[in-house]
Amino acid sequence: MDLIASGVVSPGIKMLAQLYGFAGNAAQFAVGHIETLKQADSVLANRCGQVLEAANAGFGVGAETSLILIGVGQGLLGNPLTTASSISAGANPVVMTCAAIGAIHYGWNAMSDSEREALLANVSGAFKVGVEFIRSVTRFAMDVIHALMSRDNLEELRKLVASVAGTFGRHLSDITRALSDRVLEGARYFSGAASGAATLVWSYIPSFAGGVETSTDEPTVRGGKAKSAKVSESSTGRTRRARRSVQ
């Protein structure tokens, strides 16, 4: 399979070149990228590399198969799969690929049939390959992910999916469709909003408290004097003399 047939580079390959910062032969990049993943210190990266390698070997049509798989994951994350992507060149390739693998694991079966068909059509148009081929590669990759990934690996993938999806304006729950994820995201949102409101309120307290002035003789409030409860010494004397005269 040649994704650069007759010297014409597909939109999907252009997008990946921009996203990963490579130039030249896409198949050579795919092979080198897989080796980078497999040799990484991270167990998760190593296993994601094995998923891509298995996809290439399983279909025997070239290293570009793994790039299509990455494209499926990127589409699930919210990447429009065009060179107009909001993600700049030079993004961390390992993170981007692991997030794409994670999005396939968490998002593929969560979609409705119509949503899945729309994604397949988008990837097909971007990479200029058939829908059924993309479907087969994705299903194959799902089986490999289930076989290779531990529970800890899947939790790491989940975090990466949430992080990278955010760069495309999406949330984890948009991919997993899980109610628990929506609840957690809502709780974080309201917690942040409440914290911001509290900060705003407390910022006004010093200026409010400063509006009251106190005095040992005549307590006053800005805008007018308060009545004093103090009784003068002369007034007290007159009261005492009046009492003596009566007696």
Q: Which string of DSSP letters, residue by residue, matches 153-187?
A: HHHHHHHHHHHHHHHTT--HHHHH--HHHHHHHHH
Question: Is the Cβ–Cβ distance between 153 and 44 less than 8 Å?
Answer: yes
* 28 and 107 co-located in one domain: yes
One domain, residues 84 and 29: yes
Question: 140 lies in which domain range?
Answer: 7-170
- In a domain, residue 240? The reply is no
Q: How far is CA 36 from CA 11, 47, 171, 208, 220, in A?
A: 24, 11, 28, 61, 75
In a domain, 113, yes or no: yes
Structural domains in the chain (count): 2
pLDDT for the residue numbered 189: 58
- Residues contacting residue 56 through CB under 8 Å, at least 6 positions apart: 30, 34, 62, 63, 65, 66
Confidence of residue 33 (pLDDT cuts 50, 70, 90): very high
pLDDT interval class at 62 (50, 70, 90): confident
Let me know if residue 49 belongs to a domain. yes
Do 122 and 189 lie in one domain? The reply is no
Domain annotation covers residue 225: no
Closest CA to 42 of 106, 98, 102: 98
Q: Are 80 and 37 in contact (CB under 8 A)?
A: no
Q: Is the residue at 244 inside a domain?
A: no
Residue 206 burial (CB count, 10 A): 8
Do the beta carbons of residue 74 and residue 7 sit within 8 Å? no
Contact 38, 50 (CB under 8 A): yes
User: Quick one: 194 and 114 in the same domain?
Assistant: no
> Which of 3-12, 148-157, 237-246 has the weakest average pLDDT?
237-246
Which among 61, 68, 51 has a CA at the least distance from the CA of 11?
68
Binned at pLDDT 50, 70 and 90, residue 219 comes out as very low
Same domain membership, residue 76 and residue 195: no
pLDDT confidence bin for 86, thresholds 50/70/90: low
DSSP state string for 10-70: PHHHHHHHHHHT--S-HHHHHHHHHHHHHTSS-HHHHHHHHHHHHHHHHH-S-THHHHHHH
Q: Does the structure show a pLDDT above 50 at 229?
A: no
| 241 within some domain | no
Residues 76 and 160 in one domain: yes
Q: What confidence tens digit (pLDDT) does each residue in 145-167 have?
A: 999 999 999 999 999 999 999 98
Same domain flag for 197 and 125: no
How does residue 23 score in pLDDT terms, banded at 50, 70 and 90? Answer: confident
pLDDT at 1 over 90: no
Residues 138 and 191 in one domain: no
What is the average pLDDT across 114-142?
97
Q: Which residue has the higher pLDDT, 45 or 228?
A: 45
Cβ-based neighbour number of residue 16 at 10 Å: 30
Same domain, 109 and 49: yes
Residue 196: CB atoms within 10 A of its CB come to: 10
Q: Which position has the higher pLDDT, 186 or 28?
A: 28
Coil vs helix vs strand at 212: strand
pLDDT for res 71 = 97
pLDDT (average), residues 11-24: 90
Q: Are residues 121 and 185 both part of a single domain?
A: no
Residue at a domain's end among 151, 170, 189 = 170
Of 68, 63, 61, give the one whose Cα is nearest residue 1: 61
39 and 70 co-located in one domain:
yes
- 80 and 28 housed in the same domain: yes
Query: Of residues 242 and 71, which shows the higher confidence score?
Result: 71
Residue 64 lies in a domain: yes
**Phi and psi dihedrals of 9, rounded to 5?**
-85, 130
Minimum mean pLDDT range among 17-21, 37-41, 103-107, 114-118: 17-21
- Better-scored residue on pLDDT, 68 or 221: 68
Q: 161, 140, 8: which is closest to 66 by C-alpha?
A: 140
Residue 25 within any structural domain of the chain = yes
